[in-house]
Structure 1
Amino acid sequence: MQFPESWLRSFCNPALNTQELAELLTMSGLEVEELRPVAPPFHGIVVAEILSAEQHPNADKLRVCTVNAGGAEPLQIVCGAPNARAGIRVPLATIGAELPPGEDGKPFQIGKGKLRGVESFGMLCSARELKLSEDHGGLLELAADAPIGQNIREHLKLDDTLFTLKLTPNLAHCLSVYGVAREVSALTGSPLLKPEFTPVAVKHDAKLPVRIEAADLCGRFSGRIVRGVNTKAQTPAWMVERLARCGQRSVSPLVDISNYVMFEFGRPSHIFDLDKIHDGLTVRWAKQGEALKLLNGNTIELDETVGVIADSKQVESLAGIMGGDATAVSDDTRNVYVEAAFWWPKAVAGRSRKFNFSTDAGHRFERGVDPAQTVEHIERITQLIVDICGGEAGPMDDQTTQLPARKPVTLRVARAAKIIGMPLTQAQCATVFQRLGLDYVEGEGTLTVTPPSWRFDIQIEEDLVEEVIRVLGYPNLPDTPPLAPVVGKVRSESRASVHALRHALAGRDYFETINFSFVEARWEQELAGNANPIQLLNPIAAPLAVMRTSLIGSLVQVLRYNLTRKAPRVRVFEIGRVFLRDASIVESDSSIAGVRQPMRVAALAWGAADQSQWSQRDRLVDFFDVKGDLESLFAPRQLQFVAAEHPALHPGRSARVLLDGQEIGVVGELHPKWRQGYELPSAPVLFELDLDAVLSLTLPKGQGVQRQQSVLRDIAVIVGEQVTHDALISTIQGAQDGLVRSAKLFDVFKPGQANAEMQAGERSMAVRLELLDEETTLTDERIEQTVARVLAALGEKLGARLRG
């Protein structure tokens, strides 16, 4: 925010120089980013009036001017400016004057000169020559009543400084000159000139019908009709000057007045051409498919997330952001409607960025604008309109739906002293709140503050603690070294760290990648099967418009990025958050209502299964390579893999990953359709798992060295091709009487053609059983009984028979 120091001092003028004032603001949290003089140094330039301007006898583009500079006699000045004419008052650099330094950094001194044979006793100046602006179209024309002979720096108030503040989002109450002055008054104790809003005389009873349909968009809407205004009037020079020093160019009287009050009191407003409004105004949320041509010339498409002001025929304004072109004031405007409203910050936040522009109004409303003074500020705007453009004001129309509830916040003095780090009394805190204009109630060691209407940032106790130390002054903090006990925190052994997981994946030859949480809608539709992803209101790029529910799309994009750079082998992983719709999630400091945000880990392998080497041929990575990576990550925990379908994965080469019977993710080869769709030379293999499940650990349990010798028995059974490894092993484990310590499949045999032993659709699966009794030595009889029990279970449940 930029403003001139003189405007600030018109509200509060502390006994501080410019540098001290800037230091005070910065140390109170209002960082002064830049101090810049309004004009560079120069002297000897005065207000002069051109008495006559005659054509130069020897040059077509020069004029010989007779100039009154307040001296005993007029001066002769040769001038080439196209607007040099009798009767205007302009800056005159007299002999001996110094103009602002040029590109070489040296000031330019004016002396007596001769141009084409005619003597010139000075130089008439343009704004560019005085380094006041880049306008070089002619002489800088001053007001008709400018005192002749007065120093131009004094006349234009050029001995002023521009303050540029870098405000944090919680300081919305300082987005105006008066707001900053209010802070300066609280910080210094200097008196604050509080404005008086005298009601303008009402000359007629006309009102514009206004209906508020969306209370969650607009909490208060005030307005009035002003008839008979002269929009061709000229904006006063003092207003143009202040606007320019706030970085705002003059447009027209009505626009300038609206902008002026916004910079003065932080109140964005809008002035409609009354005669262009059809019937009345309705404040509502936009409808899908509606369009609006804005004042900046852009035509935007609207939807239900954007607030608007509409009449009976069309949308006329983007609520809290920018007015529409259809009802803009012009030189032909005679009757206007002045509007000032309170728009809920959440209803305005992010909407400007959605349409790729930003406005001063939106910047203020999305941070919070005082809802209590809409009427007073309309009175101020109306008075300026009547004073500058004339006209007759109508009655005020003020409608309120709901305003922010100011919840009291309690400050514990002892707690504040502990946080700040210096002794603090209740009286000191009370004095701070008085100076800030905060209403409070004192208790025993506490002060309960009810935030005023202009303070949207006071919500918790720490906000009040900050106010106390800001006003007391950070320089008053004692220089004490921090004291804190060094206590080591022991991580539970039942949970691994994310850092350890990164190391483990890196050890399996994967590289970590970090991607945006917002992705293309296509990725969600095709790779996650999500037709209704969470939409972004203000995407940083048009394609990245939705929040991801899977990490697979991000990894596929990383693969494509690497392939365009001729990478021969890609193995990457990501640990990141996904965003799922879940109505059970409530709003909190760490959550958003209706959105669950679990952490996932996903990896992708493409290209050769291993680095090229002389001892083996290159082969492409396959499902079993990545399955092996997963099993090594979870060892000694045992995973189960169950064939399943997933929108992104090959239907015959993908599986659900189960841990202790619970599904924790998927693994598989990319679907052929998406391999072609994303233009990949071969299909990568991917997995995506729930991070909490990956990080959970099973603590080891100590066992004594076995005292008995185990016995190995191999069995080969003939089963149908549909019988899986998991079904075979689980049947064996469920059938034994506690003697089978382990069962491992070591051979699968399928003959080339049917024979007497195996029919078509059958295969042989050989399993090695390890039998052990911890207490006694196994006998042949017990061994045979256990093997027979296993074979019987296999035959009963899987239709297996012993191979001969």
Structure 2
Amino acid sequence: MQFPESWLREFCNPALTTQALADLLTMSGMEVEELRPVAPPFSGVVVAEIVEAEQHPNADRLRVCRVDAGGFSKDGPLQIVCGAPNARVGIKVPLAVVGALLPPAEGENSGGEPFEIKTGKLRGVESFGMLCSARELKLSEDHGGLLELPADAPLGADLRQVLSLDDTLFTLKLTPNLGHALSVYGIAREVSALTGAPLQTPAIQPVAPRDDARLPVRIEAPDLCGRFSGRIVRNVNTKARTPAWMVDRLARCGQRSVTALVDISNYVMFEYGRPSHIFDLDKIHGGLVVRWGRAGETLKLLNGNSIEVDAAVGVIADDQAVESLAGIMGGDKTAVSDDTRHVYVEAAFWWPEAVAGRSRRFNFATDAGHRFERGVDPARTVEHIERITQLIIDICGTPETVCGPMDDQQVNLPQPRPVTLRVDRAAKVIGMPVTQADCEAVFTRLGMPFSESAAGTLSVTPPSWRFDLTIEEDLIEEVIRVIGYDKLPATPPLAPIAARPLDEERRSGHAVRRLLAALDYQETINFSFVEQRWESELAGNPDPIRVLNPIAAPLAVMRSSLVGSLVNVLRHNLARKTNRVRVFELGRVSRRDASVMAGDLTVAGIAQPQRVGGLAYGAADELQWGEKERLVDFFDVKGDVEALLAPRAVRFEPASHPALHPGRSARVLLDDDGREIGIVGELHPRWRQGYELPQAPVLFELDLAAVLERPLPRFEPISRHQPAWRDLALVVPDGAGHDALVGALRADPAGHVRDVTLFDVYKPAGPSTDIGAGERSMAVRLELLDADATWTDERIDATVAAAVARAAEAVGARLRT
């Protein structure tokens, strides 16, 4: 909500400075997001009239003007050289006299210093000042010519006073419950309650009808529209020009001027928070019907969009077609134009529940819908139509302009429901003593009728413009808001503190974050709702959990994997020319699970485990002189996973995953209990091409609960005997895996094979006497240890022979000769 301070002070003018007023609004719950002046500082700019304009003798695009600036031109009109295309005799424009200081010019060379006007020569002709455009004064971006001022602007007057430029624009960031503050009058009403300054409520006089014509209106949906008011106004001049004062106020509310009728409707909306609509009466066929839409009906809106409505959308229709989207936007068919002569002015009360969310269905938002879905005062529709009618007569009226009688239909108005406030409860929640008199004073200032229902208990009836007061806590908030949050004492909280022992066999999520950061990954945080494409392609989930009310059309389903989010982060970075990306995320995923029961932290039928995922792309290391640059590969990320899970041993088995390369991906299993805890691998070439990635990233995704497990170390005494080492070259089939071979060698019943390490793999390029086709040599080092006895060569040979025999049985290995 944006508005000028001067307009607010016309309704309520407390003895506060601009900054103090902003602080008051913020502390009352209406956060002032921005304060900025209407115009930047400048001086020496006055109103002047061009009395002569001749062609420059030495330049085709320049004119030599003589201007009358009142008291600033004692020796007669001033000579000004000007290149504006609209410089002509008879118009009043801003004149920066010699010595004037203008806002600094744009560009690096301006230095941010004011620009001083001096006497100068342009193509040999002297110029004693400068005629200004709106852009040169930083009033707008319009640079099409000189800023033309009203004809009644006094010559020589300071431009800042003529255009009221010493004003401040307030921008409020209002929460959804503050619909009553979406107008200048509504904010003034709050300021009056907060400060005690009198509220100036202009008297709106009824416009006497001079015509008996009525437009038939029928309300078929009371749950959509509770009140519908309207009247006919005939013989209006739609080509009339909007007054400058209205154009300025609309501009300072962030609304551009359109036409006089549209501007009048918008002006009253910003003034009193009342959205309204003006129909071209001659384009309405028969009467109007307020009802819910019907499947298959279409409507072309004022913004040019054509939409299809259904039974969940409210509409205003005539006898032939739908004419308006109820509470949101009018239709193109009945829009007013320069040819319009007779209009129908409508103001209604639309139930907030019937308007909320409808705009998002059609991918646009309007000021009217923004207000109606929060609640607009149903009690003042007639008064606001009277206000609009009078403005139409004043601005667009002709001698033949007449208006018809007011047609006001009330079918289903909200009934105020009293809310009970217990004074003792208010004091307890607020945290400081509050008396019943304090509460009564607050409700009196807010215009809320109340009565004492019992000792220390007040029954408060919310006014017609407050839709947010439904429970006792709402009233308590009003009490402290008006009394002032700054009155709250600085009381430290008192609560019992019980120490909770930490589980030594479990580390925290922050420890996992720090470890991943040490491995050169950066944390990213993503939405839990993602594109459906990611789920079907990267998670293999054909039936994801859908979001009932997505914030954006693409973010329509809940993610069951972190892979899609990480790939999207990679694409975001690549679009910004980042060539090396290493990111991780700790987050929840959602998947269907019928075994999950409803609870305080669970939803029936939906499992929401936490996962940790990472992605590495680009060079394996930062650019350096000591190592050649190479791309990150599967084994780099496999090593990161092992480091993340250390000291727990893990093993990897070939796996198939919808997002990963079938030959470069593996399941991650815990070595001690064989649990599968995740996946690691390179992105599938199909998705690398589908998501337009120059190279394939390597990803991992693990169950966070398993990653957080940290088994305590088991201490053993140091052996009194030395270990022995033996290196073996084993010939195995190409299909024999590392884990199978190492597992067979280590499976010593006596436990004397302490460790097995692969240190070489050899496959001859051509025929070999000891390695056949389809075979390879794997060299391993065995560490042997017997804690109870010293090794002898005979025992070592027997242990090695038994290990080779196990390997031969398990994978077909034999000693290489």
- The TM-score bracket by the shorter chain reads 0.5 to 0.7
Identical aligned pairs, as a percentage? Answer: 47
Kindly report which structure 2 residues correspond to 1:278-297, keeping only aligned pairs within 5 A, or say none: 280=288, 292-295=300-303
Kindly report which structure 2 residues correspond to 1:564-583, keeping only aligned pairs within 5 A, or say none: 572-577=582-587, 580=590
Q: Aligned equivalents of 1:506 and 1:522: distance in 2?
A: 30
The one-letter amino acid of 1:391's match is C
Q: Aligned equivalents of 1:432 and 1:618: distance in 2?
A: 71
Select which of 204, 208, 212 maps to 2:217.
208
Q: 1:511 touches 1:572 (CA, 8 Å); kept in 2?
A: yes
Select which of 232, 239, 242 maps to 1:226.
232
Task: Report what 2:188 is aligned to.
Answer: 181
- After superposition, the Cα gap between the structure-2 partners of 1:245 and 1:741, relative to the gap in structure 1 and judged at 3 Å, is same
Q: Aligned equivalents of 1:266 and 1:92: distance in 2?
A: 35
1:297-322 deviation line (CA, Å, top 9, x unaligned): x5466798995746477665455544
Kindly report which structure 2 residues correspond to 1:21-100, keeping only aligned pairs within 5 A, or say none: 21=21, 24-25=24-25, 27-30=27-30, 33-34=34-35, 36=37, 84=90
Q: Aligned equivalents of 2:742 and 2:269: distance in 1?
A: 77
Q: Aligned equivalents of 1:407 and 1:338: distance in 2?
A: 31
Deviation at 1:186, TM superposition (A): 0.9
Q: Aligned equivalents of 2:621 and 2:155: distance in 1?
A: 89
The one-letter amino acid of 2:645's match is F
> How many residues are treated as equivalent by the alignment?
735
Q: Aligned equivalents of 2:155 and 2:629: distance in 1?
A: 92
Q: Aligned equivalents of 1:125 and 1:763: distance in 2?
A: 88
Task: Report what 2:403 is aligned to.
Answer: 391
Q: Aligned equivalents of 2:656 and 2:774: distance in 1?
A: 27
Task: Report what 1:646 is aligned to.
Answer: 657
1:465-488 deviation line (CA, Å, top 9, x unaligned): 553343223554567899999998
Q: Aligned equivalents of 1:130 and 1:670: distance in 2?
A: 57
SS of the residue 1:572 aligns to: strand
Greater mean alpha carbon deviation, residues 225-234 or residues 762-771: 762-771
The one-letter amino acid of 2:102's match is E
Deviation at 1:20, TM superposition (A): 6.1
Q: 2:614 touches 2:700 (CA, 8 Å); kept in 1?
A: yes
Task: Report what 2:84 is aligned to.
Answer: none
Q: Aligned equivalents of 2:779 and 2:185: distance in 1?
A: 86
Q: 1:278 touches 1:311 (CA, 8 Å); kept in 2?
A: no
Q: Aligned equivalents of 1:611 and 1:137: distance in 2?
A: 57
Gaps of 5+ in 2: 58-62, 81-86, 104-113, 119-124, 126-130, 789-797
Q: Aligned equivalents of 1:502 and 1:17: distance in 2?
A: 49
Task: Report what 1:119 is aligned to.
Answer: none
Task: Report what 1:112 is aligned to.
Answer: none
Q: 2:525 touches 2:585 (CA, 8 Å); kept in 1?
A: no
Matched, 1:103 2:102: yes
Q: Aligned equivalents of 2:45 and 2:567: distance in 1?
A: 70
Q: Aligned equivalents of 2:637 and 2:42: distance in 1?
A: 73
Task: Report what 2:274 is aligned to.
Answer: 267
The one-letter amino acid of 2:276's match is S
1:248-287 deviation line (CA, Å, top 9, x unaligned): 4554443233112212211222222244345655665797
- Please report the TM-score for the alignment, with normalisation by the length of structure 2: 0.65
Q: 1:342 touches 1:370 (CA, 8 Å); kept in 2?
A: no
Task: Report what 2:352 is aligned to.
Answer: 344
Deviation at 1:328, TM superposition (A): 1.4
Kindly report which structure 2 residues correspond to 1:753-772, keeping only aligned pairs within 5 A, or say none: none
1:359-400 deviation line (CA, Å, top 9, x unaligned): 533554465544555555445445655676432145224454
Deviation at 1:506, TM superposition (A): 3.9
- After superposition, the Cα gap between the structure-2 partners of 1:626 and 1:239, relative to the gap in structure 1 and judged at 3 Å, is closer
- After superposition, the Cα gap between the structure-2 partners of 1:127 and 1:503, relative to the gap in structure 1 and judged at 3 Å, is closer
Greater mean alpha carbon deviation, residues 263-272 or residues 31-40: 31-40
1:605-631 deviation line (CA, Å, top 9, x unaligned): 457778999999998765455445434
Matched, 1:514 2:524: yes
Q: Aligned equivalents of 2:607 and 2:533: distance in 1?
A: 21
The one-letter amino acid of 1:208's match is V
Q: Aligned equivalents of 1:681 and 1:129: distance in 2?
A: 48
Deviation at 1:648, TM superposition (A): 0.8
- After superposition, the Cα gap between the structure-2 partners of 1:592 and 1:163, relative to the gap in structure 1 and judged at 3 Å, is farther
- After superposition, the Cα gap between the structure-2 partners of 1:772 and 1:314, relative to the gap in structure 1 and judged at 3 Å, is farther
Gaps of 5+ in 1: 70-74, 110-115, 117-123, 775-783
Matched, 1:603 2:614: yes
Greater mean alpha carbon deviation, residues 390-399 or residues 282-291: 282-291
Q: 1:672 touches 1:683 (CA, 8 Å); kept in 2?
A: yes
- Root-mean-square deviation over aligned CA pairs: 7.0
Select which of 676, 687, 708 maps to 1:674.
687
The one-letter amino acid of 2:585's match is I
Kindly report which structure 2 residues correspond to 1:239-638, keeping only aligned pairs within 5 A, or say none: 243=250, 246=253, 248=255, 250-277=257-284, 280=288, 292-295=300-303, 298-299=304-305, 309=315, 311=317, 316-317=323-324, 320-333=327-340, 334-342=342-350, 344=352, 348=356, 351=359, 355=363, 359-365=366-372, 368-370=375-377, 373-374=380-381, 377-378=384-385, 380-382=387-389, 384-385=391-392, 389=397, 390-393=402-405, 395-398=407-410, 400=412, 408=419, 413=424, 416=427, 422-438=432-448, 452-455=463-466, 464=475, 466-474=477-485, 476=487, 491-507=502-518, 509-514=519-524, 516-517=526-527, 523-530=534-541, 549-556=560-567, 572-577=582-587, 580=590, 599-605=610-616, 623=634, 626-637=637-648
Q: 1:235 touches 1:256 (CA, 8 Å); kept in 2?
A: yes
SS of the residue 1:645 aligns to: coil
Deviation at 1:731, TM superposition (A): 12
- After superposition, the Cα gap between the structure-2 partners of 1:680 and 1:188, relative to the gap in structure 1 and judged at 3 Å, is closer
- After superposition, the Cα gap between the structure-2 partners of 1:682 and 1:25, relative to the gap in structure 1 and judged at 3 Å, is closer
Q: Aligned equivalents of 2:375 and 2:513: distance in 1?
A: 43
Q: 2:430 touches 2:480 (CA, 8 Å); kept in 1?
A: no
Deviation at 1:431, TM superposition (A): 2.2
Q: 2:65 touches 2:79 (CA, 8 Å); kept in 1?
A: yes
SS of the residue 2:540 aligns to: coil
Q: Aligned equivalents of 2:376 and 2:659: distance in 1?
A: 48
Q: Aligned equivalents of 2:463 and 2:603: distance in 1?
A: 28
Q: 1:231 touches 1:252 (CA, 8 Å); kept in 2?
A: no
Deviation at 1:344, TM superposition (A): 3.4
Q: 1:212 touches 1:284 (CA, 8 Å); kept in 2?
A: yes
- After superposition, the Cα gap between the structure-2 partners of 1:475 and 1:609, relative to the gap in structure 1 and judged at 3 Å, is closer
- After superposition, the Cα gap between the structure-2 partners of 1:165 and 1:54, relative to the gap in structure 1 and judged at 3 Å, is closer
1:185-240 deviation line (CA, Å, top 9, x unaligned): 21222443556777777834532345559x6xx56463435252514366677756
Q: Aligned equivalents of 2:773 and 2:47: distance in 1?
A: 114
- After superposition, the Cα gap between the structure-2 partners of 1:800 and 1:125, relative to the gap in structure 1 and judged at 3 Å, is closer
Task: Report what 1:167 is aligned to.
Answer: 173
